[in-house]
């Protein structure tokens, strides 16, 4: 779980850096979503360590992450493509 957390954090940081550089208008909201997911990952890790983990924790988390990818990451992807087109 620690490796997943670290990988997610590195991925989120790289994404956030790019957003900030490009002046993405929903940067702060996106960072909040990333932070909420990292907190949830840490919470699941804590539950696993304390043997309090519930099977429903994982699909709930994956659903949240999936919605972030479909909505927020795609929103940034569209913004990124638009920036690329405008710079040509």
Residues that bind Fe ion (CB under 5 A): 15, 73
Quote the radius of gyration of the chain (alpha carbons, Å).
15
Beta carbons of 3 and 52 less than 8 angstroms apart: no
CB nearer Fe ion, residue 47 or residue 68: 68
| Cβ 56 to Fe ion shortest distance, Å | 24
| Cβ 34 to Fe ion shortest distance, Å | 6
CB nearer Fe ion, residue 20 or residue 52: 20
């Amino acid at each position: 779980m620690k490796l997943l957390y670290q990988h997610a954090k590195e991925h989120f940081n790289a994404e956030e850096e790019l957003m900030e550089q490009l002046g993405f208008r929903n940067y702060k909201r996106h960072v909040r979503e990333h932070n909420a997911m990292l907190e949830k990952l840490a919470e699941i890790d804590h539950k696993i360590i304390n043997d309090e983990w519930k099977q429903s924790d994982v699909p709930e988390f994956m659903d949240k992450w999936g919605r972030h990818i479909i909505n927020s990451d795609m929103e940034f992807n569209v913004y990124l493509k638009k920036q690329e087109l405008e710079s040509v």
